[in-house]
């Protein structure tokens, strides 16, 4: 094992491979009797490394799986294969939370920093080993003997500390970025509500069918892209930001820049307004039967898109079932505000500026994620 002469330099250090059972204690189930209420966290209550839900329990009414106590700096990992759920225990979690036996609780010994162990648990290397060693007929999970055999690279403690400091700094930047994205979305929604509020404004109101063309997913013309690939749109696509390119022999529909596609059926409960997509370039698509296309005849295109995304008219079709279905006439009857075209352009400019700011933050989020994953991978190979 090579110690650094200058820990801040980009020197490659030799790592010593150890078994997890040699550098960690795996805590057995069992809790002490407690008074009052504690918070119980099942594996389903954790999203990667954050607790997103909990149940309140007493000692006498707790579920049988609510049987893991922890100490500050313990690391938790979900035992199930193909599952990535991790926690590092704070004082708050130690004092007020009980965890499911679906978690393995690891307590480090002298050669391994607790936070360094936590970060290792999130690596691709650890999770590949865990999945390979998991056993079970229906739900595969890793048991303690197998967990103890997992190999972990051990670096000198000063290097471990630098790994933790660097990854903590990136995570802090990610959390700040996430908060900025949240605030940017709040700003956009506030601006959207204010600019499209018709109170005190003498704006004309028309039904969508009077001012827009409607196509229900049946292709009316055939086109072939230069590269021979056709863009396939289905209802799942509308909820995402990407496009799925596939070879197809189906009839095609030419979407024009400014067209709006909307999901008509199998819309998740209460989400009809979120299932719109603005087409930002001319392209040829195969349209799913569940998708309609709306083409404006009287609007600044982006203004129509913004208005459809806040129009509460569609919520009336939420019948309490798990999914909502819209008919053609339902969409054609949607009331739309029609301010003067110049006013539409001014509103679009304001909203687009706010949206562009959020898009910049989202791009930064992606870069921070790439940076974190790169530093994480290199760190445990001795390439800090």
**In the chain, where the domains are located:** 16-154, 155-203+340-384, 209-338
Mapping DSSP to helix (H, G, I), strand (E, B) and coil, where does residue 343 land?
helix
Both tokens assigned to 110: 């002298």
Strand bridging mode 323-324 / 267-268: antiparallel
Both tokens assigned to 235: 């209802």
Does 16-154 match 209-338 in CATH topology?
yes
pLDDT at 280: 82
pLDDT at 319: 66
Sheet with 253-255: strands ordered across:
244-246, 230-233, 283-287, 253-255
Evaluate whether the domain defined by 16-154 bears CATH number 1.10.3720.10.
Answer: no
Give the mean pLDDT of the chain.
Answer: 85
Mapping DSSP to helix (H, G, I), strand (E, B) and coil, where does residue 183 land?
helix
Inter-residue contact 116 to 87 (CB < 8 Å): no
pLDDT at 220: 38
pLDDT at 314: 81
Q: What is the CATH number of domain 209-338?
A: 3.90.220.20
pLDDT at 272: 53
CA atoms within 13 A on the CB side of 151: 10
Both tokens assigned to 29: 């189930």
Distance separating alpha carbons of residues 285 and 257, to the nearest angstrom? 13
Q: Which fold has domain 155-203+340-384?
A: Helix Hairpins (1.10.287)
pLDDT at 322: 63
Inter-residue contact 252 to 276 (CB < 8 Å): no
Residues 6 or more apart whose Cβ sits within 8 Å of residue 366: none
- Give the residues of the chain that fall short of pLDDT 70: 1-15, 217-253, 266-274, 284-288, 319-323, 384
Beta-bridged to residue 55, according to DSSP, are: 40
Residues 6 or more apart whose Cβ sits within 8 Å of residue 203: 337, 338, 339
pLDDT digits over 68-124, tens only? 999 999 999 999 999 999 999 999 999 999 999 999 999 999 999 999 999 999 999
Distance separating alpha carbons of residues 180 and 157, to the nearest angstrom? 34
Q: Which parts of the chain fold into alpha helices (H)?
A: 20-23, 91-96, 114-121, 124-133, 144-149, 157-195, 208-211, 235-238, 301-310, 328-332, 341-379
Both tokens assigned to 47: 């999203």
pLDDT at 266: 66
């Amino acid at each position: 094992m090579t110690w650094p002469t200058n820990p801040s330099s980009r020197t490659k250090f030799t790592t010593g491979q150890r078994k997890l059972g040699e550098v960690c204690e795996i805590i057995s189930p069992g809790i002490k009797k407690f008074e009052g209420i504690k918070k119980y966290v099942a594996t389903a209550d954790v999203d990667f490394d954050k607790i997103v839900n909990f149940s309140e329990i007493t000692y006498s009414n707790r579920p049988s799986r609510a049987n893991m106590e922890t100490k500050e700096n313990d690391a938790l990992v979900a035992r199930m294969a193909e599952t990535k759920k991790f926690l590092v225990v704070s004082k708050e979690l130690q004092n007020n939370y009980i965890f499911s036996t679906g978690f393995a609780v690891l307590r480090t010994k002298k050669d391994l920093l607790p936070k360094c162990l936590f970060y290792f648990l999130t690596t691709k290397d650890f999770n590949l080993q865990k999945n390979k060693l998991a056993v079970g007929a229906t739900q595969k999970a890793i048991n303690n003997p197998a967990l103890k055999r997992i190999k972990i690279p051990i670096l000198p403690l000063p290097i471990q500390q630098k790994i933790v400091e660097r990854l903590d700094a990136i995570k802090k930047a990610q959390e700040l970025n996430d908060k900025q994205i949240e605030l940017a979305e709040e700003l956009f929604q506030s601006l959207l509500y204010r600019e499209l509020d018709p109170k005190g404004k003498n704006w004309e109101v028309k039904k969508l069918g009077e001012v827009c063309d409607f196509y229900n997913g049946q292709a009316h013309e055939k086109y072939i892209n230069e590269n021979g690939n056709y863009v396939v749109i289905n209802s799942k696509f509308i909820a995402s930001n990407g496009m799925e390119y596939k070879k197809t022999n189906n009839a095609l529909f030419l979407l024009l820049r400014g067209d709006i596609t909307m999901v008509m059926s199998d819309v998740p409960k209460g989400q009809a307004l979120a299932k719109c997509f603005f087409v930002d370039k001319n392209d040829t698509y195969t349209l799913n039967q569940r998708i309609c296309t709306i083409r404006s005849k009287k609007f600044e295109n982006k203004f129509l898109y913004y208005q459809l995304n806040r129009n509460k008219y569609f919520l009336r079709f939420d019948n309490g079932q798990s999914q909502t279905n819209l008919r053609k006439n339902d969409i054609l009857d949607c009331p739309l505000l029609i301010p003067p075209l110049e006013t539409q352009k001014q509103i679009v400019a304001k909203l687009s500026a706010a949206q562009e700011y959020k898009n910049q933050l989202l791009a930064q989020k992606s870069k921070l994620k790439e940076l974190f994953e790169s530093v994480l991978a290199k760190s445990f190979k001795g390439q800090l």
